[in-house]
A and B are shown apart, each in its own frame.
Chain A
């Protein structure tokens, strides 16, 4: 059974929908890349999945249930890393981790064990008592990443994760993602760094003007576009050109 099922979802801010008839699924242990130009509807799609926007039509199921059916269960099933880090100015790094652990019902021993590993991996052990005001953009991003991985959910939703991270941070994130995948977690990642997406994603969803233009493995996409040997960059550019000509 797939972890995330998006079925015929239409939605947006005003009457004019931003995403139209969107359908895709993510299976267990799958890393799926959500790719599209600025304004293609990536962030809106993500907002619908995390439940800050509700679909006008269609259904979003996480482990078989919708947000309306069981809000607690739905929300426990995913963690989210937003494009721009959203931190509490009044909480230290340690308190961010504690708050997250409390909210997701982790016991203190689990919190201690998991956060020790994460703090080491992202080289933030020495900053436990710092407030966000003293963090750089990359460090803020790391706080978000650590909070997300602390929870150990079945689905990770990661929006534009590489911007602002240093090369070591990017590597740590990719390692963590890999590890969670092996443990059976699924990941939906939206990004513009196409080479990384091509290298790490099991499947790609190409979003254009609110619709799924194409989806599948790199081989599927190459076949769909009739470009054998093409990189994801080539396919992406081909897609936008094709749309321009229409």
Chain B
């Protein structure tokens, strides 16, 4: 039956599409440049350090520990979704087919990371140890095999225990794998082989335990949702992710703020927008983040023109993002039916944004109080914000 394979393929295509879509935003942004610089600088430092590293540097131990930990973290990518708990139930006995595909992808999507880390460490191993080239590549092969075992092992453990105490399992695997790699690095290939056999046995025990257990859909679906959520959260720093519903926090300590919007008919939208801004993490932390960056720069950079330019840029960024975030929302909301002027929400958003930017200006201004002409920063922030509000479309 090809059915489940097709299910996997269509999911996989969708998943790759989703990841690609956001990766574009992430890597076309400033982070790509930052990464290139970081890698370049790191590589240079590393090669300089290799020239002077002493031969008693514990390279084997460090490499074994790092590789052991990376090997043990083998979260399965199953791409299961919530409705599967219902729709795939009748295919329970055919599910191994699906998981085989899923685990193959899990292996290939994770093995490169541990591979790269090991390859990066090869110059160090050559400098510090007496390993031959063929031994070094034998260990590489060993690591690939161990990764395969780890992926199978973590999946079987999660399947049989529904993820309960997964860190215990990961710890045990990290120790076995780390020891195996360490033995390999000590050129004790027989001992490394013996530890690999132990790893096999460990994985086999949990594989056996899975037999007859129903598919733990809930656990795997949870795992998928968390993984996608953390990906979306990360992507959200670079672009607007539509499915990301900001979480809500009461922030009771800010309740006194709402007194500035008294009970009155014309205030309904302000009442709402103010609370939306303060209590939605996305909006509130956006403001906090940009205000903090602006304040720190203004406090520590003592070239006035530079601080004005940066404060202006951050004022623009805060204003435009806040305005768009508070005005957006294509879904139906009850306030769309309120007997109020059409532009009530727009006006309310303008006022709340203005208020938050005045507060930003004051905070940033106070942080720059030791600098010459710090008061200019305050005006720059307010003027840029007002211009941004006026000149951008709603």
Contact = CB atoms under 8 A, between A and B. Distances in A.
Interface of A: 50-52, 71-76, 80, 82, 86, 88-91, 95, 98-100, 102-105, 108, 131, 133, 147
B337 A51 contact: yes
A245 to B, nearest CB: 34
B53 interface: no
Given A52-B332, A102-B263, A131-B248, A88 B339 contact: no
A121 B272 CA distance: 26
Interface residues of B, number: 25
Contact of A102 (B245, B264, B275, B336): B264
B272 A91 contact: yes
Contacts of B332: 52, 82, 86
B160 to A, nearest CB: 33
Interface string B243-274: 00100101000000000000111011001100
B390 interface: no
B279 interface: yes
A75 B337 contact: yes
Given A72-B340, A90-B280, A98-B271, 15 more contacts: A72-B341, A74-B339, A75-B337, A75-B338, A75-B340, A86-B333, A90-B275, A95-B275, A100-B334, A102-B264, A102-B267, A103-B265, A105-B265, A131-B248, A147-B334
Interface in B336-358: 336-342
8 nearest A-B pairs in the assembled complex, by CB-CB distance: A75-B339, A103-B338, A103-B268, A90-B279, A102-B268, A76-B339, A105-B265, A72-B339
Interface of B: 245, 248, 250, 263-265, 267-268, 271-272, 275-276, 279-280, 332-342
Contacts of A51: 337
A81 to B, nearest CB: 10
Contacts of B250: 131
Contacts of B336: 52
Contacts of A105: 265, 339
9 contacts: A71-B339, A88-B333, A99-B272, A99-B335, A102-B263, A102-B264, A102-B265, A104-B338, A131-B248
